[in-house]
Structure 1
Amino acid sequence: MAEVGESSGAKSPQEIWAKLVPSDSRHSDVEIKSDEIVICSVIRLSSFDEHAWCTIKRNSDLCSATLQNKSSTAILADEAVIHNGDTIDIRCGSEIIPGPDREGYLRYRFKVMPRPETSQKQLKICIDVDHAKCSICLSVWHDVVTVAPCFHNFCNGCFSEWLRRSQEKRSSVLCPQCRAVVQFAGRNHFLHYIGEDILKADSSLKRSDEEVATLDSCASIQSNLVIKSGKKLGRKRSYSPLHEDDHSVELPCPQCGTESGGFRCDHNTIHLQCHACGGMMPSRPPATTVPQHCLGCDRAFCGAYWHAHRVTGTGSHAMCRVETFQPISERTISRIPFWAHEKNRHEQDITEKCIRQMGRTLQDVITEWITKFNNREIDRTRMPLNHAERITSGTHLCNDCYEKLVSFLLYWYRISMPKNLLPPDALAREDCWYGYACRTQHHNEEHARKRNHVCRPTRGSNF
């Protein structure tokens, strides 16, 4: 039985955005013009009959599509079995077979066509709404301004009011978010449009007309503004943050106003905000203090810093426990991380069985493989952390990055394991062509279970 794909629907001079390219060059490509189209097959038996076998719908990212099985039998897409009515996401290069078997059916490759050079390109930006909020009023930016050199963003009205109050009381204007000395402020037209798009997408984030009017009445930054700092006239004594009564604005951390570990913040000290607890700590040169940034993700964490200075948390200063940011060699782990084996729980269960059958613990395995890692016996190419080449067993990592490191080491533990040590049900499985890079394992339970995905790809872009 042979099948020839055809697209049904009105013929129009629309742009061809994708094709189904048959493996047999004697058959023509199936051109896809509509954003949603039904693909039919001409079955060559005693007569020519058209049968709808799938629907292909273009996704919003413009480079992938959703395929739905419209036939009475199962079809194959990237090795996954798709039954009648079921859907699967396909991308450029996906293999599609309009039947349940690889033999007897014409194979297709889904190909996304390059967009014409002359067409207007639209860039879609995904942004977490929390990253588009003013840290003063905690709402989406309104008439956003950016300050330098720290490049934090605020509502024009909010920062203008902060600027007015700061210049009345202090010699320098500090950033409301990180306490760096502000030298420049200006309106940010690019972020202004992003804020407007966010409010159009979610009207619940809009402010009332009264709030907008209040902000506009306070806004004083209409053009680029250079903010000068220097000694204030009329001050009878030197400035000390201990005498500030403005909601402890000048006391973001325990070292503001109090010496600890031979260091005390001054009005020029730049502060870092801890990613875990939100507390503040002074930014210190790496050569003079303990690490403050995770080398795996570059985020700031305060646990190790305050622990090294023997400073404990108080009601007025948030502070992490030391366990949130530790050297790799001092960490312990008792469960397989969520990230392991590309989040494939079937592979995680197999790894757990292997460790248990060998009479070992997860900590035993990780300790052994951290030694291999430290001795550079492992290829770090696929390591999902920043600065992979600089990481050693003495490197400080946050909890998330440590679990990603453990997941990376468990891949090498499994791939290095002799086949005869695998459980019988795992040993009988064939390797997936796409290995660890397989996308189908994330949404097809049967495929994730019946194929081995702890292996290198033999097909696709990762091969």
Structure 2
Amino acid sequence: MSDRSSPSPLKEDTAVPHSLEDEATAEADLFDLAAPPLQQPLVARLVPVYAGLPTLDLHQDSGNVVVGRGRDIAEGYRIDASGQLSARHCELLVDPVTLRVELRDTSTNGTFVNGARVEKGKRLTLQNGDVVALTRPADAGADGQASRSAVVNIAANGRVGYMFQRLKQETTRARMREALTCFVCKSVFHRPCSLRPCMHVFCAGCISAWMARGEQEGCPQCCESITDIRPTHRLQSLAESFLLSDPASRRPAEELAQLDTADVIPPTGMTLGKRGRSDENASGDDGEDGAHSDSASNTALTVRHAALTFVHAMPLAGPQCAECDTPSCIDGFQCPVDGPHLRCSACRSCFAERPLCGRPQRCHVCSLAFCHLYRAGGCACSDLLPFKPFKEHEPPNELPPQTFHGNTIEQGILSNYLASHRILVKEAWAAALAKFEVGEWVPDMILINGAMRTDSPVCRRCAAAVFAALLFNYRRQLASDELPESVTKRPDCWYGKECRTQFLGHQHAQSFNHVCYQKKSKE
């Protein structure tokens, strides 16, 4: 039997880094407030290897899901395709905090993962690409062993087989604890609120007390001026799930009561002031930005985050980067007095703004500033928020959420195709990158910084967006005979990928193909 039949302990050094604050957008949280989702996000799915089997979706709040052919099994997980299945064949367990998915066999005839029979009653952690057979594979012997290829290549004949596909990456409790920790009180969020425009998150009571002191007008973490404060319900849900799984991290009732007393943030959030566009505070010349700073000091340095974001000039006293004090070890550059600086979006430290120095300082897509390719030693946070040429980014393990503009129907079609043809998302990345390299495929995106190449520097978030745009071409080039008839017989939507109804009506998204371009306007 495989040594994978018992789950391995969570290791802090095996976490896949990702930023939960990326999900704390005020627009999404306000939408959730107006129309709360019926289910938590989709974490993974079991994609059928054979036709006629249902897709088994696993959400963050799925908990313990029972799969089998019993009448008491939930409809979405009841399988009547084979008499070899037990009434309660196996259980799928989703950890709402780490997003780990485990399988536990409860059947009579056995459950097989990658051809090896799972020990009954033991938990097995599923990995992306695992083949899960609920009936004995064709070539399995008495010991339950079978080749991985045999599980996929045999004809269905009443057999039940799936491929496990992860849609959200697994994390660890240590990393989740770090991501859910307030910068001010150093404890797990209690009613977290995000600040605009920097989007840093704090407890509502902590940020209320911070503002009540009077002398503090900026973000406690980056000092940027605050324009809006919005409760983030997604992080609130994550924090509650984490505390349920780790009661030791829960704060005393007295401390929570103090936070509630200090909390002045209403459920819908609050606005502190209007945002000013960077081009409204200048006459068009970057050199005049410092003249419009709120500071009375003539020696204040100007810090700009990006050309496409709302920013404010920040008075910073004294040397703010290594090159203010010491010439660069790369080219001997030293910051002039009152020289412009950028703030790195990863490590939040300042560095000289030098658009003509030859070393990339901004993401080619979003124009956010990063210091990793500029500094001699790179960025201290480059592992968490990579900034590198597009082709050097790590291939993803799952489809980006931006794929097909978020149309889950079209995403499911592509996911099923990849699973049925045993194509990993990493392999789709390699194919798209090769086409992009020779110019056959071009990401259909608005790029104000000019045409993009595979060596254009981008941040991790934009790398996912570019890959999602390339997947549009990947899906369009698939031959019709490689897709189910239920997919190919759908007519093209007149508005194509620009259609807005595809996100409002499930029936419309299912009945029409949206992986196409908008037809020409009628004369």
Q: TM-score, normalised by structure 2?
A: 0.41
If asked which structure has higher relative contact order (CA below 8 Å, sep 6+), I would say: 2
Rg larger for: 1
* Structure with greater strand percent: 1
Q: TM-score, normalised by structure 1?
A: 0.46
